[in-house]
Structure 1
Amino acid sequence: MTRAARGTDHADLARLEEQLGHAFADRGLLALALTHISAVTARPGQPVRLRSYQRLEFLGDHVLGMIISDMLYRACPDAEEGELSRRLAELVCEEACAEVAVAMGLGPFLRLGAGEDRAGGRERRAILADVAESVLAALYLDAGYAAAEKLVERFWRPRFAALRGQRRDPKTAVQEWAQARGLPPPVYRLVERSGPDHSPHFRIAVELPGHEPVEGVGSSKQNAQKAAASAFLERVIS
């Protein structure tokens, strides 16, 4: 077996199951969760993307968001919606998911095409982040919400614990969110200034390519920018 084909062998999958702490009833789900599109051979009438982990990654993204949101809601009873949204963004971002994939030890088990494998796909952050979510989705489909929650508790909990008690600047969170997706830094545009000089009122929009501008208001430009950043985070996470 070539290294690129790893992830389909039952012995390999059994080792990974030990690392994940879950024995799959349907190992085909786990194998699919590890299959990058580069490893899929085109067949008539069978879309390539449907035989890669992409659909599972879509589901895993939402399962992860639900579980982390529940954890945050219970653990941070005094946090407002904007603060919860910022913490959620940090816990489900590409960087966080890629680090979790490394902690799970997923890299050696990925099924990659030869070219992607030679190009370092097993260490590529975007792929690792995607496969962390696809594996979570596979476990969710195999054993239900409680099992998925257990996996998140085990592998996301260290990052979750590190964020507790911290209050991140929403502008920083938006910039990191954009950077993780290959976008340029956000632009903050003054939409309106009103009120007297001793009590001004600012309305500012945060703009990123591919996203509708989101506005925030405040008694200073800085506060309005923070409000816009918080509103943007709430929109992209909801």
Structure 2
Amino acid sequence: MNQKPTELEGATRDWLEAHGFVIKDQALWVEALTHGSTGEARDYQRLEFLGDRVLGLTIADLMFQQSRGAEGALAQRLNALVSKAACAQAARDIGASKHIRLGKQARDDGAATSDNVLGDIMESLLGAAFLDNGFDATKALIRQLWKSQVEGTAGTAKHPKSALQEWAAGNKRRPPEYELVSRSGPDHKANFTVRVSVQNVGEAEGNASSKQEAETAAAQNFMETFG
């Protein structure tokens, strides 16, 4: 394995600080921006795991405070706001792509603009923020970075999979069944195809960069065709 640097490049540090991140342990932030394709001993995966949990708790707390909705509505909104797509959007909003440390092949393959990688990077930065600055500071940072998405409509419409489930029940059909048809491409540019079927009605397929999103797309396509 290659040794990783322990200090941030000046432009990267300036970029992080301009967006509200407070840098103490530089090596931690280098790790947060390092993709596995570099071949270095440590990459962002562990910090991504941690950041995902910090983000989930912060958004759940925010939803609880701001909404009087029932548990189902809160969960639907939470799932939308902590999804890979939402994390990738937050990363794009702050221009993270050019600061990700990638191996040459991964960069040539477009990893820097991939939803999977951008989403992972955003979560790893939140994990680093939690370790370097604590929960309260990271919670305030998340509220700032997610402000436009929280004020938007993400998660307010019925989720396509829930809509299909209810449609099947209302039409006295068996519950929809999802089947993974194929998975292709490297992890940072994966493509999943999922088929959903309802017995004696029909089937539809959906494609996306994660299995969960492909299921959602399949449900949406099914409802547009048969609903």
Query: Within the alignment, does 1:168 sit opposite 2:167 as a pair?
Result: no
Structure of greater relative contact order (alpha carbons < 8 Å, 6+ residues apart): 1
2-structure distance, mates of 1:159, 1:17: 20
Query: Within the alignment, does 1:106 sit opposite 2:96 as a pair?
Result: yes
Q: How does 1:93-172 map to 2 (within 5 A)?
A: 93-163=83-153, 167-171=156-160
Shift of 1:151: 1.4
1-structure distance, mates of 2:34, 2:128: 12
Q: Deviations over 1:80-136 (max 9, x none)?
A: 000001101110111111110011221111000010111111111110011000001
- Structure 2 SS opposite 1:163: coil
1-structure distance, mates of 2:74, 2:6: 36
2-structure distance, mates of 1:121, 1:209: 27
Structure 1 stretches lacking a partner, 5+ long: 42-47, 176-185, 194-199, 211-238
Kindly indicate whether the alpha-carbon contact (under 8 Å) linking 2:88 and 2:122 is maintained by their aligned counterparts in 1. Answer: yes
1-structure distance, mates of 2:7, 2:166: 48
Shift of 1:146: 1.1
Structure 2 stretches lacking a partner, 5+ long: 181-227
Which amino acid counterpart does residue 16 of structure 1 have in structure 2? W
2:57 to 37, 62, 66: 66
Percent of aligned positions that are identical: 31
Which amino acid counterpart does residue 145 of structure 1 have in structure 2? F
Shift of 1:24: 1.1
1-structure distance, mates of 2:143, 2:177: 34
Q: Which residue of 1 aligns with 2:70?
A: 80
1-structure distance, mates of 2:81, 2:156: 14
Kindly indicate whether the alpha-carbon contact (under 8 Å) linking 1:7 and 1:111 is maintained by their aligned counterparts in 2. Answer: no
**Largest Rg, 1 or 2:** 1
Shift of 1:147: 1.2
Aligned pairs, number:
178
Which amino acid counterpart does residue 17 of structure 1 have in structure 2? L
Query: Within the alignment, does 1:91 sit opposite 2:81 as a pair?
Result: yes
